[in-house]
Homo-oligomer: A and B are copies of this chain.
Amino acid sequence: MPESNIIYVGSKPVMNYVLAAITIFHGNIKEVLIKARGRAISRSVDVAEIIKNKFLTDIKVKSITTGTEMLRTEDGNEFNTSTIEIILERGGD
């Protein structure tokens, strides 16, 4: 998937990411990938749910996958964090 169709959900308000996704779909794009790590995972699910329930009702969740990434802090400590990838798809087959 091209980088321009990926939304990285962080600590901004949910609606920032919702609007970013809607803007991409309005460019006649069929799929948007929503990615998040750690505590932003909850927010990424909110983003997907709000898009498909309130704004673009022809969008559905194509797939959800979770994973684990190792991150390193500035002082060299390593820790694991969970990740999520939600693919939203327009229309369907």
* A residues neighboring B (CB under 8 Å): 38-42, 45-46, 48-49, 53, 61, 64-68, 80, 82, 84, 86
A70 to chain B, nearest CB (A): 11
Q: Which of B42, B64, B66 contacts A38 (CB 8 A)?
A: B42
Residues of B near A38 (CB, < 8 A) are: 42
- Complex formed: what's the CA distance from A45 to B81 in Å? 10
Residues of B near A84 (CB, < 8 A) are: 45
Residues of B near A42 (CB, < 8 A) are: 38-42, 82
A49 to chain B, nearest CB (A): 5
Residues of B near A48 (CB, < 8 A) are: 66
Contact A53 B66 (CB under 8 A): no
- Complex formed: what's the CA distance from A84 to B48 in Å? 12
- Complex formed: what's the CA distance from A84 to B40 in Å? 14
- Complex formed: what's the CA distance from A86 to B51 in Å? 21
